[in-house]
Amino acid sequence: MIPKKYLSFAIVLFCLFILGGGIYNILEKPRSIIPLQTGYTSLHPYMNEQTSTEGYVIMLINGFTIAGFYMTYRSTQVAYNRTAANRWLMAGIALIMLGFGGNYLIIQLKQGLL
């Protein structure tokens, strides 16, 4: 029997794979960079398509967000130690903001390419 924490971790990784467009990367085999008139970019200019690099970056950014949510949850588990709880909470909030900000930045960059 697989321990519960390893199974949970595997499910989270699978969800990150799906959210980052892993199935799209496998089926479509997109290029990693796209030539534009002004040079090359690793972001696909259309919102409904992505490059393989873009998918991997999105997986990483979503991983930061999920890690941040876990850290904020962990801060409630060590509430008896106020200093440690504050560290977990601040680090978690920072990762959540990094994740949401990164996703927002990628969408804004994609809209600016056209």
pLDDT digits (tens, 9 = 90+) for 64-88: 999 999 999 999 999 899 999 999 9
Q: What is the pLDDT of residue 84?
A: 95
Four-CA torsion 48, 70, 95, 86, nearest 10 degrees: 160
Average pLDDT, rounded, for the chain: 94
CA 26 → CA 13, 31, 72, 74, 75, distances in Å?
Answer: 16, 11, 33, 34, 37
22 — pLDDT class (breaks 50, 70, 90): very high
Q: Percent of the chain beyond pLDDT 70?
A: 99
Tokens of 93: 């909030």
The model's pTM is 0.90
Of 30, 27, 23, nearest to 49 (Cα)?
Answer: 30
Tell me 45's DSSP state. S
Alpha-carbon gap, residue 41 to 73, rounded angstroms: 37
Of 68, 54, 70, 69, nearest to 103 (Cα)?
Answer: 54
Q: Percent of the chain beyond pLDDT 90?
A: 85
